[in-house]
């Protein structure tokens, strides 16, 4: 059975991972899809752990509860208020730009090679749109909290 | 016989996946000529090839022997139409065509079941309506996306499969003077198909002579990527039960999006009780 100390260590380790991801997200202007998805998953992972641990608050040591509060504050003040809106705005802008470029390149006859090269850009657009949906689902979660 | 042709197509598709080394977004084949596996009239095959060669979504074609069958492979790209459909939000499900051969085999089943008119709902480039016409049936092709209807109009010179740029849920069906129609519903149940099918069913059920005489074909999937329907039928069981339809049969046929999938599209045939 996992002891309180083990739980505390796991939470601490996951929070540090999140802290690093948030620091990276804060310093980067152009996160790739993998980095975005990884960061959101870690936010959700740590948030779920925090919720679960708070439900059994009576049996948790005070130091862990204090760590949970600190981490939740980081998520709320750094991620939800600053990084998440920045990522969403950046993805939305990328989609607009990619769409515009692909539309402007749609006229005229193209070679087989050009069509297949453009198809990769369309695929990139689809991936970015899926990422936006994923990020928006997080947004919906925040607004229902 | 038709179910054998369907099975042969699925088998050959699996061979094709193994040997295809191109990079196109969509790809399919049509047998070059009548054979034991595909006992299809030569004149019909010619018309199917003509649909592909005049259709601007295909930008390349080449001959290839797949298994024991000499075929023409058609390579295409539908990104432009996808982009248009998401821009205008007109379509509930983005354009992703079935194979031309699948459209033809589906229409063959419809004809064998005794239907005289095929109504292709959410028809994309109109291939099912075209195939019905190849088989001598009357057909109408209903599509909400104007760019796709523009494309369909390029393909009607030899066989007019009657493209209509319209919302199938509000369309005036009595104006078609249908007697024994079968409606092919485009789009998986989980991809807006249920909404579309419900709207059209409500409309047809309100027309007394059509309520009892109509057939329905729903495009379903067994893929684990999509949530199953509690009443099965590849996603359509609940709708079939709710609308008091009678299940007839299920045919498995390839479509553009199943190229890399192990399961093909499940075409669920049903009729009014």
- 3-class SS letters over B111-174: HHCCCCEEEEECCCCCHHHHHHHHCCCEEEEEECCHHHHHHHHCCCCCCCCCEEECCCCCCCHH
Structure token digits, residue B51: 């649909």
pLDDT value, residue A2: 64
Cβ contact B24–A110 (<8 Å) = no
Upper half-sphere CA count for residue A50 (Cβ side, 13 Å): 23
Contact list in A for residue B75 (CB cut-off 8 A) is 112
Contact list in A for residue B77 (CB cut-off 8 A) is 115-116, 118-119
Rounded CA gap, B38 and B101, in Å? 10
Q: Cα distance from B24 to chain A (closest Cα, Å)?
A: 6
Rounded CA gap, B122 and B189, in Å? 13
Site of tokens 């079968």: B182
pLDDT value, residue B8: 98
Residue pLDDT tens, chain A, 145 long: 467 778 888 999 999 999 999 999 999 888 999 999 999 999 999 999 999 888 876 776 778 888 999 999 999 999 999 999 999 999 999 999 999 999 887 677 889 999 999 999 999 999 999 999 999 999 888 776 6
Q: Does A116 touch chain B (CB under 8 A)?
A: yes
pLDDT value, residue B92: 66
Helix (H, G, I), strand (E, B) or coil at B253: strand
Q: The complex's ipTM?
A: 0.80
- Burial of B241-255, coded b for 16+ CB within 10 Å and e otherwise, reads eebebebeebbbbbb
Q: Does A23 touch chain B (CB under 8 A)?
A: no
- Residues in B whose CB is inside 8 Å of some CB of A read 23-25, 59-60, 75, 77, 79-80, 82-83, 86-87
Cβ contact B82–A99 (<8 Å) = no
The answer to whether residue B100 scores a pLDDT higher than 80 is yes
pLDDT value, residue B90: 57
pLDDT, tens digit (0-9, with 9 covering 90-100), for B206-223: 998 898 899 999 999 998
pLDDT value, residue B191: 85
Q: What is the DSSP letter of B256?
A: G
The answer to whether residue B21 scores a pLDDT higher than 80 is yes
- HEC string of A1-48 equals CCCHHHHHHHHHHHHHHHHHHHHHHHHCCCCCHHHHHHHHHHHHHHHH
Q: Give the ranges where chain B is alpha helix by DSSP (H).
A: 2-19, 42-54, 79-88, 100-112, 127-134, 146-153, 193-205, 208-211, 237-242
Rounded CA gap, B81 and A48, in Å? 41
Cβ contact B79–A99 (<8 Å) = no
Domain boundaries, chain B: 2-272
Contact list in A for residue B24 (CB cut-off 8 A) is 115-116, 119
Site of tokens 């505390």: A8
pLDDT value, residue B88: 64
* Cβ-defined contacts of B150-155 (< 8 Å, 24+): B151/B55, B151/B56, B151/B57, B151/B81, B151/B125, B152/B123, B152/B125, B152/B126, B154/B54, B154/B55, B154/B56, B155/B51, B155/B54, B155/B55, B155/B125, B155/B126, B155/B130
- Over pLDDT 70: what percentage of chain B? 98
Q: Does A99 touch chain B (CB under 8 A)?
A: yes
Q: Does A2 touch chain B (CB under 8 A)?
A: no
Q: Does A49 touch chain B (CB under 8 A)?
A: no
Site of tokens 């299940």: B247
| DSSP H or E segment with residue B265 | strand B265-272
Contact list in B for residue A116 (CB cut-off 8 A) is 23-25, 77
pLDDT value, residue B205: 93
Q: Report yes or no: B133 and B159 within 8 Å, Cβ to Cβ.
A: yes
Rounded CA gap, A74 and A25, in Å? 13
pTM listed for this prediction: 0.87
Helix (H, G, I), strand (E, B) or coil at B242: helix
- A101: closest chain B residue by CA: B83
Structure token digits, residue B32: 């070059």
Helix (H, G, I), strand (E, B) or coil at B26: strand
Distance of CA B91 to the CA centre of its chain: 16
Q: Does A143 touch chain B (CB under 8 A)?
A: no
Contact list in A for residue B83 (CB cut-off 8 A) is 99, 102-103, 106, 122, 125
pLDDT value, residue B51: 98
Q: Does A103 touch chain B (CB under 8 A)?
A: yes
Closest by CA position to B244, among listed B208, B216, B207: B216
Q: Report yes or no: B121 and B200 within 8 Å, Cβ to Cβ.
A: yes
pLDDT, tens digit (0-9, with 9 covering 90-100), for B104-152: 999 999 999 999 999 999 999 999 999 999 999 999 999 999 999 999 9
Cβ contact A122–B24 (<8 Å) = no
pLDDT value, residue B89: 61
Yes or no: domain B2-272 corresponds to CATH 3.40.50.150? yes
Rounded CA gap, A68 and A51, in Å? 9
Cβ contact A106–B24 (<8 Å) = no
Beta bridge partners of B141: B120, B163
Contact list in B for residue A129 (CB cut-off 8 A) is 86
């Amino acid at each position: 059975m996992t002891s309180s100390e083990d739980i505390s260590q796991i939470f601490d380790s996951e929070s540090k991972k999140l802290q690093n991801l948030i620091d990276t997200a804060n310093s980067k202007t152009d996160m790739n899809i993998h980095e975005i998805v990884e960061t959101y998953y870690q936010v959700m992972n740590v948030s779920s752990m925090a919720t679960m641990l708070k439900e059994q608050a009576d049996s948790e040591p005070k130091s862990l509860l204090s760590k949970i509060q600190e981490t939740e504050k980081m998520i709320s003040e750094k991620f939800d208020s600053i990084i998440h809106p920045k990522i969403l705005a950046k993805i939305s802008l990328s989609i607009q730009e990619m769409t515009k470029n692909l539309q402007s390149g749609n006229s005229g006859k193209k070679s087989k090679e050009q069509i297949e090269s453009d198809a990769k850009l369309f695929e990139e657009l689809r991936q970015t749109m899926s990422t936006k949906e994923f990020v928006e689902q997080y947004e919906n979660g925040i607004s229902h909290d | 016989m038709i179910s054998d042709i369907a099975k042969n197509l699925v088998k050959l598709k699996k061979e094709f996946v193994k040997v295809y080394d191109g990079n196109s977004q969509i790809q399919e084949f049509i047998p070059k000529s009548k054979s034991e596996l595909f006992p299809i009239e030569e004149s019909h095959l010619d018309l199917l090839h003509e649909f592909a060669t005049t259709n601007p979504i295909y930008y390349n074609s080449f001959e290839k022997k797949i298994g024991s069958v000499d075929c023409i492979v058609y390579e295409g790209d539908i990104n432009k139409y996808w982009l248009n459909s998401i821009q205008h939000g007109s379509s509930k499900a983005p354009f992703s065509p079935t194979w031309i051969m699948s459209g033809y085999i589906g229409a063959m089943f419809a004809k064998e079941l005794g239907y005289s008119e095929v109504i292709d709902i959410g028809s994309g480039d109109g291939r099912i309506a075209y195939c019905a016409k190849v088989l001598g049936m009357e057909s109408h092709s209903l599509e909400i996306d104007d760019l796709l209807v523009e494309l369909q109009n390029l393909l009607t010179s030899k066989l007019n499969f009657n493209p209509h740029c319209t919302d199938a849920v509000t369309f005036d069906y009595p104006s078609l003077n249908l007697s024994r129609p079968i409606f092919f519903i485009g789009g998986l149940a989980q991809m807006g198909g249920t909404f579309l099918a419900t709207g059209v069913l409500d409309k047809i059920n309100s027309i007394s002579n059509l309520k009892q005489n109509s057939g329905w074909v729903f495009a379903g999937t067994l893929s684990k990527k999509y949530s199953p329907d509690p009443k099965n039928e590849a996603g359509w069981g609940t709708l079939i039960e709710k609308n008091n339809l009678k299940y007839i049969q299920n045919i498995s046929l390839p479509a553009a999006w199943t190229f890399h999938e192990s399961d093909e599209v499940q075409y669920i045939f049903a009729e009014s009780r």
